[in-house]
Structure 1
Amino acid sequence: MTTQTATKTRTVARLVRGLPTSDGAGVRLNRVIGTQALPDVDPFLMLDEFRSDDPNSYIAGFPEHPHRGFETITYMLAGRMRHKDTRGNEGLLGPGAVQWMTTARGLQHSEMPEQQDGLMQGFQLWLNLPAKEKMLDPVYKDIPAATIPVIAGAGHTIKLIAGGQSGITGPIASPTTKPYIADVVLQPGAEVTLDIPDSHAGFAYVYDGAADIAGTHVEKTQAAVLAGEGTLTLTAQAAEARVLVVAGAPIKEPIVRHGPFVMNTVAEIHEAIRDYQRGLFD
């Protein structure tokens, strides 16, 4: 007689709606993670969604500013954004492209829109670094849209930015947190099951349409914070749904934040401020 092991599946711990705010030189955005309602989902510190067809709400962009202690992932859906940093890196992100920057011990950079009108849409995600990696050298990677794998199934597509799915691996990896990041498009009524590693914590953000996530109804601009282990099932309702699914291995270390600096102790934050004031950021 054989014993069958039940398949583990994820559940939804809570729903959170993004908070309209502004950042940079007045760019209007929707902050999903990094608010009082949801300060973080370890190892993720922030998720901002920007979407506007009014140039006045984004054209001033994000002029030069510093970072230390984490990674930024910028994923463009529409429009163009030019990145420059103090290590000499420069790139122009177009629709579907990703920029992955490990700020580590520190640098300064700018992100500026390069158009006068039309839709600007995308996401920026902050991924924490463990203490042992916070003071390493910064790393910058541009990932063109054409190099990001898209997995097509019955009524759905999975654009795999990071992690593994169906034997395919996304182009970006971070050694400790091992993120899984997927942009999922579901046709009306379609369903898909995602292979998220058991050790990972994360969330699913619905940015178009509505979807059932692990059996819970989630509306546009809501994030479902995930619980448990195993696979995650997404099901679209009467219209097409688009869902950004994000998960990673929790770091489980203290988090001390001060604007663009994220460290483990208050003393390290003070050191970051002094280093920036002394011009020590590349």
Structure 2
Amino acid sequence: MTAPLSKPREIERLVNGMPTSDGAGVKLLRVLTQDLQRRLDPFLMLDYFHSDNPDDYLAGFPDHPHRGFETVTYMLAGRMRHRDSAGNEGLLGPGGVQWMTTARGLVHSELPEQQDGLMQGFQLWVNLPGKHKMSEPSYRDIPADEIPLLHTAAGVAVKVIAGEAEGVQGAVQKPDTEPLYLDLHLPAGSRFEQALPEDFNGFVYVYQGTALLGTRAQPVQEKQMGILENRAGHDGVLVAAGAEPVRLLLIAGKPLREPIAQWGPFVMNTREEVMQAVEDFHAGRL
């Protein structure tokens, strides 16, 4: 059993996602934007896509470059085909996760493989420390049945993508940023507690229903992100469901506290490093 929290964190700020499009016109909701990168270090971006109209997503994300961070794609529904310049290829299915460390760089594509039906999921960008930004890239597809799923005594289903919950190790463990990535399904009237180091930055994103956060039971509505406050002595997160079930992501990590220099798909520590990334891409060195 996990010890109960003594001082759960409260919500510092609510954020509504910004509708946008990316790739070849894929419609999505950008939740974590560039102006929040310092506050939510080491996380750089979070996109949510949810549509049953193939025109919103079918063109996908054709070949494009990355350098200096990790992309985490989590599919709730639909399938996405990945190919990259390192020779990797995989088909990400419902409930699966693709964890790609772009490091010194690669070019890849992400293309849906269905003509119709629901496409729903998330892409999270996690920064890399400067010491690893020019290391070798890596790629891992994690099918749904390889991601630990636990059920609490209160009936909460917890998908442990990264980090640890209730003593269960997630599918992914990473040094430096030590990310926690949980998908929580709370039945009506239930609650869930998660320990969290006080120096970690964290947030929740509700994708179904309304969650109640902290001892104040502050509502976080569907398609809202709640940024968790950072206060000394506060040891975790308390989330509850009211009269209706709730589904949400809980994401947290250890901040890198390094300079962030970004130009589109390149995230480095200095402007000069970003300019070198652009030059290497155009010279075919990614």
- Quickly name the TM-score band, shorter chain normalised: over 0.9
Query: 2 CA distance for matches of 1:178 and 1:253?
Result: 16
Runs of 4+ in 1 over 6 A off after TM superposition: none
Letter in 1 for 2:223: T
Q: Please, which of 236, 243, 246 is the counterpart of residue 238 of structure 1?
A: 243
Structure 1 alignment gaps of length 5 or more = 1-5
Q: 1:196 Cα shift? A: 2.2
User: Residues 111-149 of structure 1: CA distance to partner in whole angstroms, max 9, x if unpaired?
Assistant: 000000000000000000011110000010111100111
- 1:173 equivalent in structure 2: 173
Aligned-residue RMSD, C-alpha: 1.1
Q: 1:236 Cα shift? A: 0.8
Query: 2 CA distance for matches of 1:11 and 1:256?
Result: 30
Work out whether 1:111 is the aligned partner of 2:110: yes
Q: 1:155 Cα shift? A: 2.8
- 2:267 equivalent in structure 1: 262
- 2:205 equivalent in structure 1: 205
Query: 1 CA distance for matches of 2:21 and 2:281?
Result: 24
- 1:3 equivalent in structure 2: none
**TM-score, structure 1 length as denominator?**
0.95
**TM-score, structure 2 length as denominator?**
0.94
User: Residues 182-236 of structure 1: CA distance to partner in whole angstroms, max 9, x if unpaired?
Assistant: 0000111111111223331110000100010112111001101011331211111
Query: 2 CA distance for matches of 1:111 and 1:102?
Result: 15
- Aligned-pair identity in percent equals 54
Task: Provide the aligned length of Structure 1 versus Structure 2.
Answer: 275
- 1:227 equivalent in structure 2: 229
Contact 1:164/1:195, CA 8 A, preserved across alignment: no
Q: 1:8 Cα shift? A: 3.0
Letter in 1 for 2:171: P
Contact 1:181/1:247, CA 8 A, preserved across alignment: yes
SS in 2 for 1:269: helix
Q: 1:7 Cα shift? A: 1.7
Q: 1:39 Cα shift? A: 4.3
Structure 2 alignment gaps of length 5 or more = none
- 2:132 equivalent in structure 1: 133
Contact 1:188/1:236, CA 8 A, preserved across alignment: yes
User: Residues 145-192 of structure 1: CA distance to partner in whole angstroms, max 9, x if unpaired?
Assistant: 001111102131110000011111101122100000000001111111
